Every structure is written in structure tokens, then in C-alpha cells.
Amino acid sequence: MASFSVHGESITDGDSSGGIAVTLYDCGSPDTERTLGASEVLYITDVQIFTESAQGGTDVWLVADGKAAGKYVAHGHLDQYGGLVINFRKPFVCAPGVGLKFYGADADLNVCLVEGFIEEA
């Protein structure tokens, strides 16, 4: 079974409270976006979330397939200019063909980075 290493990014200088898609890239090729096929599974090994919220703290979410109906990959409350770093012992497994959305602060800089790999289901 072929495995493809990927990293994902969602970097927003402004409102991300409505959800921003995490763009996947082939590792070693930051200019090559990677779209998940319907039968491909994204495995997440690491998550880093940073926010520059000046409101004194904010909730952040990384969700597979949308906040309302999706699975939470990571969720936390970050203090002003805070960060959240997660290294999964076992990779978080998304459903086949399902991408990620990041929900962050309603203002200022929001950064969500993921590392992982893709395999056929």
C-alpha cells in the first residue's frame, strides 16, 4: 500500500471563526497542493496551533469534516498569544476522503499546521 507524507497549513491574518480549510501539500514540495481522493485516508501525526488573539484568549478547533458534524482532532482554549502542540502516539485517522477545517480567533493571526500521511482505504 502506497503512503504519501503530507503537511497541512491554515494561516489567516484575520477572522477564522467561521472555519478555514487546511490545505495539504506533499512533503518536500510546498508549492504542490494535495487533494484527497474519495478512497484516501488522512492520518494526522502532529498538530501545532498558534493564535495572536489580543482578546485575552480564544477557543480553537481542528475538525475533520466540519465543526457541526465532524470529528474533533484538537480543541483547546489558548491564552493571549498562546499555542497548542499535539504529537499523537497513534495517528488520528480521518474518514476516507475527508479533509480538515480550522476554527480559530475572530481576529489577528491564526496558524494551524499538521503533519501526517495519506494511504488508500
**65-100 pLDDT per residue, tens:** 766 667 899 999 888 778 899 999 999 999 999 999
Which residue from 74, 69, 60, 75 is spatially nearest to 95, judged by alpha carbons?
A: 69
Tell whether the torsion through CA atoms of 101, 58, 74 and 27 is positive or negative: positive
pLDDT at 68: 65
pLDDT at 2: 73
> CB under 8 Å to 79, separation ≥6 — which residues?
56, 57
pLDDT (tens digit per residue) in 34-71: 989 999 999 999 999 998 876 667 888 999 976 666 78
For 3-120, CATH gives 2.60.120
